[in-house]
Structure 1
Amino acid sequence: MMEFGFMAFAKTALNWIGLIFVLGLTLLLIAIVITYIIDKTQKKHAVRRNFPVIGRFRYWFEHLGEFFRQYFFTLDREEMPFNRAERSWAYRAAKNVSRTLAFGSTRNLTPTGTVMFLNDQFPTLEENAVESEALLIGPYCPKPYLAPSFFNISGMSYGALSKVAVQALAKGAAKAGCWINTGEGGLSPHHLSGGGDVVFQIGTAKYGVRNDDGTLSDEKLIEVCSHDQVKMVELKLAQGAKPGKGGILPGRKVTEEIAQIRHIPAGEDSISPNGHPEIDNVSDLLDMINHIRDLTGKPVGFKTVIGTDAFLFDLCEEIHKRGIKSAPDFITIDSADGGSGAAPQPLFDYVGLTIKESLPLVLSVLQKQGLRDRVKVICSGKMINPSGVAWALAMGADFALSARGFMFALGCIQALQCNKNTCPTGVTTHDPDLQKGLVVPDKAERVYHYHKNLVKAVGVIAHSCGVTEPRGLKRHHVRVVTETGLSTPLDKIHPYQESSIPTKKI
């Protein structure tokens, strides 16, 4: 009886499976027929009209290509904006695993512009190596900032980044002893959650410190800067990905919390003005800087992308008229190849100078104008590996920043989905399901290790060049390959400058 019952059950189950299969096949055929008719009759897409049904696979493959090309179709050194070799170093540094390689470098050392550091025959021994000293910013401020690290987290807004990403960055930065820049999206509780140093950025829309008409609210600014963690204020004129264009945050990423922090409507596109309405010239810029400094008592500087040195000479001339105390406490130079969650491609690709040109230009002007000691120089732009940071310090920068390097430390896979709220690793999305993949305590540790290992690796380069600490690197420690295929000293390409204007020592 039991055997008979089992056979009857099996027969019934098979019948149902067969029925479901036939039904599913029928529905599939109906769907194909309907899709065929739709594709054949529509007039917007030539591929679908000429190749109905199968033409749709083009869009699917195109989408998948964003995720898989870096694994299967590109070489270690050819992908943009960051190739596999660059990302791999950042991942290994964040995971605190071995960063050594075997059998030789895959980097081509002959292209024009290739940077090479000059090793000393008597390198610095480990027992003679020292850590870089903390650097004072804002000597004339009531509350100057003694910045402990030469490598810090560049501006990334809460909004462009997810809540969990900001929390992980804040906690990791606090443990590493570096600052985190809020980006133009305002100060959030998540920036403060780590307990570390914060640089508050004021963008053109004045998010977080704005009146209803978009002007700066002194009361809100004082409130933001009342937090002891907020060490400096950065006035953003322009950023690398979109000089001459304000920040862009799609409405689907403007949550209720973000809207409250920024003082804007929820669910609507958040597009900043392309400039500060109250700043038309260098005089206005210094007025704003000194106004913010007087209100907060903290160091104030500005961030920009360099397009011409005329602006810098005009700025220095105005500073000399007003006196050295009126100068910005720092200038942050962003490279034209900087990153962003959303930017117009023409600005991404064609506008502004890269850091390789703009950093030496700014340093040269400040030195000639006798303001180099007064104004600290900070730079950012694709510096996710030790070589880029070491080059910046050798050129003369006081600090180097990275945004995307720390995104890689959080687990970013360069899926290029930052502006779509669909980031598969939870770094730039506000989708709660996708954010679950980013575990704050684990990623905070990776942020800490990435910072620690990069700083250590810059030290390794410095010691190989015979200096005791990273800021000891100078231009004569670097050579650059020219169009002849041979290298030339960096200090010949960008000679050291002498001050042409006598100034009192600080």
Structure 2
Amino acid sequence: MISFVLLVSFWGWIGYGVLALIVGVGLRDLLQRKHTIQHNFPVIGHFRYFFEELGPPLRQYLVASNRDELPFNRRQRSWIYASSKKENNYQGFGSDQDFNAPGYIFIKHAMLPYVPAHDHPHGYDEQKHEPANATIPCAKVIGPHRRRPYRPASVVNISGMSFGSLSGAAIESLNKGAALFGCYHNTGEGAISPYHKNGAEIVLNIGTSYFGVRDEAGNFSMEKLTELSRTLPQLRMLELKLSQGAKPGKGGVLPASKITHEIAATRGVPMGQDVISPSYHSVFHDVPSMVDFIERMAAETGLPVGIKSAVGKLDMWHELAAYMKATGNGPDFITIDGGEGGTGAAPPAFADHVSLPFVFAFTKVYQIFREAGLTDRIVFIGSGKLGLPDTALMAFALGCDMVNIGRESMLSIGCVQTQLCHTNRCPTGVATQNKWLQGGLDPALKSVRFYQYVKTLSKEILDITHACGYEHPCQVTMEDVDVSAGDNNKTQSLAAVYGYQKAHVTFSGTTTLFNCLHLGKKWK
């Protein structure tokens, strides 16, 4: 009886406490003038913010159709999730896509497909019901005239996403997965962290703040870059970042609150201060001085050097092509980042309206170098929602030699597209420095998820390539892909839409490429 009375008394006091809290919140709402809804509707006005937060996941899981959402709709995300988990990624009862939508991609298969021989590197494994080897080596050597030329083992690789933008656990997962598959891992502009040193080959992205290769005053240090190239044999290329698709012409900001001791040590920046990357490089100011900087880095390190850029005005692209043709110098590869890309934070006006989408950006730049006769000297890399088999095949048809994948990689290791990357509150631990949120991301598991995703993506690229009658994606032409012009009776080839033909890529067979990879190990 006493216990019952105590229990009733306890819950009574709880009730009084809750009532007092509600009254206190109501009084606070009535007295404040900062939020109109809370003042006019005390207590219940707070639910407005709750539903605002709940809106995106409700729409994502309960309201939106398979094709409604952006950047990646449910159908695309489901394919990536199923592929990463090695689950059934097929679909039944036909396609639910609108074939008449403007820009819809049609890949034209051959009447008789290419069938690799049993001893071919991509020969069919009857037991596993898949190619014996899913990696597709790049058809071109990058920087053949450099001391350490590089032929990537995979045409599908990880795009630049820095430690700081992504968590250490996410970087470690991607790097270990890349090592399992054999693709390279672009560091993003946040420098090489300990999490990048888990077995995969690395491409160092060098941004305007020169993180990881800067002195105490923040200036570029050739000595530090040379030391990195000497001590890290897995460092295979340097990518000079001019701009990125999400915010071209605008520098990044890393708030002091997000800078941990580990990030500060990795980037070479002080604790307790906002890190603001300028929108321009201090080492060069025009095309000739940029090319000179590229050549100096290549000479000092022996590594191939390229540039990464979003695309807007074309005058400097014309100038670069003309200068390269006249001097024989210049970047060994060019990464074109579409305006629809972006894994971190960006002002909406920049993300939505500044820089061209991938297909327009790439085709305009490629034509400039095609007309200058430089396509055999340059390896072209595409970036911007190319982590799905159909868009990747289209990129190869347009002239890409490789594709880099960013957000699709994030999805494969657990990202659920809450679009909270800029808040440090990523619920899956992928894009946050919050240790608690990172705790749920297991690199041992997620590295395998990424490996299975990139393997499946490469396998399907290979399957479609073979269906088109070719051995390697570099052989796919602009006549092999049509796009819908927006009505039921008209499609046009990529060549007709963009007004050029992709340059021929010299290709001596996939077996030769694999043999070259083994020989190329001496360059490491």
Q: Same fold (TM over 0.5)?
A: yes
SS of 1:147 mapped into structure 2: coil
Instruction: Decide which of 241, 249, 254 is 2:246's aligned counterpart.
Output: 241
- For 1:123-162, list aligned pairs within 5 A: 123-125=113-115, 127=117, 131=122, 132-134=136-138, 135-162=140-167
Quote how far apart the aligned CAs of 1:432 are: 2.0
Take 1:139 and 1:126, find their aligned partners in 2: how far apart are those partners? Answer: 29
- For 1:381-460, list aligned pairs within 5 A: 381-460=384-463
- The change in CA–CA distance for 1:126 and 1:17 in structure 2 (over 3 A counts) is farther
Instruction: Decide which of 333, 348, 368 is 1:345's aligned counterpart.
Output: 348
Quote how far apart the aligned CAs of 1:266 are: 2.1
Quote how far apart the aligned CAs of 1:498 are: 9.1
* 2:79 alignment counterpart: 89
Instruction: Decide which of 200, 215, 218 is 2:219's aligned counterpart.
Output: 215
Q: Deviations over 1:140-174 (max 9, x none)?
A: 10111111111000001011111111111111101
* 2:498 alignment counterpart: 494
Q: Given that residues 96 and 449 in structure 1 are in contact (C-alpha distance below 8 angstroms), is that contact kept between their aligned partners in structure 2?
A: yes
Quote how far apart the aligned CAs of 1:497 are: 4.9
Q: Given that residues 248 and 343 in structure 1 are in contact (C-alpha distance below 8 angstroms), is that contact kept between their aligned partners in structure 2?
A: no
Q: Given that residues 478 and 502 in structure 2 are in contact (C-alpha distance below 8 angstroms), is that contact kept between their aligned partners in structure 1?
A: no
Quote how far apart the aligned CAs of 1:414 are: 0.8
- The change in CA–CA distance for 1:105 and 1:484 in structure 2 (over 3 A counts) is closer
Quote how far apart the aligned CAs of 1:126 are: 5.2
* 1:472 alignment counterpart: 475
SS of 2:106 mapped into structure 1: strand
Please tell me whether residue 275 in structure 1 is matched to residue 265 in structure 2.
Answer: no
Instruction: Decide which of 294, 298, 303 is 2:299's aligned counterpart.
Output: 294
Amino acid at match of 2:12: V
Please tell me whether residue 30 in structure 1 is matched to residue 20 in structure 2.
Answer: yes
Take 2:342 and 2:325, find their aligned partners in 1: how far apart are those partners? Answer: 34
* 1:380 alignment counterpart: 383
Amino acid at match of 1:413: V
Q: Deviations over 1:324-363 (max 9, x none)?
A: 2x12100110010111321111101110001110111121
TM-score by length of 2: 0.90
Instruction: Decide which of 88, 96, 101 is 1:106's aligned counterpart.
Output: 96
- For 1:116-195, list aligned pairs within 5 A: 116-125=106-115, 127=117, 131=122, 132-134=136-138, 135-193=140-198, 195=199
* 1:75 alignment counterpart: 65
Q: Structure 1 segments of 4 or more deviating over 6 A?
A: none
Between stretches 28-37 and 70-79, larger displacement belongs to 28-37
* 1:254 alignment counterpart: 259
Q: Which runs of 5+ in 2 are unaligned?
A: 123-135, 504-524
* 1:502 alignment counterpart: none
Q: Deviations over 1:290-341 (max 9, x none)?
A: 111111110001100011221211001222332x2x1210011001011132
* 1:204 alignment counterpart: 208
* 1:6 alignment counterpart: none
Take 1:498 and 1:175, find their aligned partners in 2: how far apart are those partners? Answer: 33
SS of 1:482 mapped into structure 2: strand
Take 1:282 and 1:320, find their aligned partners in 2: how far apart are those partners? Answer: 13
Take 1:59 and 1:258, find their aligned partners in 2: how far apart are those partners? Answer: 33
* 2:518 alignment counterpart: none
Instruction: Decide which of 53, 57, 81 is 2:47's aligned counterpart.
Output: 57
Q: Deviations over 1:363-398 (max 9, x none)?
A: 111110011100111110012211111110111101
TM-score by length of 1: 0.93
Amino acid at match of 2:203: V
Please tell me whether residue 18 in structure 1 is matched to residue 18 in structure 2.
Answer: no
SS of 1:137 mapped into structure 2: coil
Instruction: Decide which of 354, 366, 373 is 1:370's aligned counterpart.
Output: 373
Quote how far apart the aligned CAs of 1:67 are: 3.0
Take 1:458 and 1:248, find their aligned partners in 2: how far apart are those partners? Answer: 37
Q: Deviations over 1:258-285 (max 9, x none)?
A: 1011111224332211111233221121
Quote how far apart the aligned CAs of 1:65 are: 2.1
Give the total of aligned pairs.
Answer: 486
Between stretches 261-270 and 76-85, larger displacement belongs to 261-270
Quote how far apart the aligned CAs of 1:78 are: 0.6
Q: Which runs of 5+ in 1 are unaligned?
A: 1-10, 500-506
